[in-house]
Amino acid sequence: MAEKKKTTKKKAAKKKATVRTVRAKPKAKKKVSRQREWQRKMREEGRCIKCGAPAVGKALCPTHLAAERERQRKLKGWKGRKTGALSYQFE
């Protein structure tokens, strides 16, 4: 009798798991800040997410692309320069 109860519990757990996977439908839109909203809009329109000027890469204008490169160089301590990179084409 006890064994039977165990199996039913397992079955119930399995059912729950399948329900969870079935519910993998798109969630409601997550709330984001006005700043992030603006950044997403700019990115979609192909403009810089920092100043709104036309972007050259995915999200940044030449000025901010170079600034971001230098910021990361300082942060990571990188010594070499890949002068063929996109951010160097506008200098």
* Residues engaged in binding Zn ion (CB under 5 A): 48, 50-51, 53, 61, 64
Beta bridge partners of 47: 54
Closest to Zn ion by CB, 17 vs 54, is 54
E strands, 47-90, in order? none
> Closest residue to Zn ion, Cβ-based?
48
Give 3-state DSSP helix, strand, coil % of the chain, rounded to 5.
Answer: 55, 0, 45
Closest to Zn ion by CB, 64 vs 69, is 64
CA–CA distance, 6 with 15 (Å, rounded to integer):
14
> Shortest gap between Cβ of 34 and Zn ion (angstroms)?
18
> Shortest gap between Cβ of 46 and Zn ion (angstroms)?
12
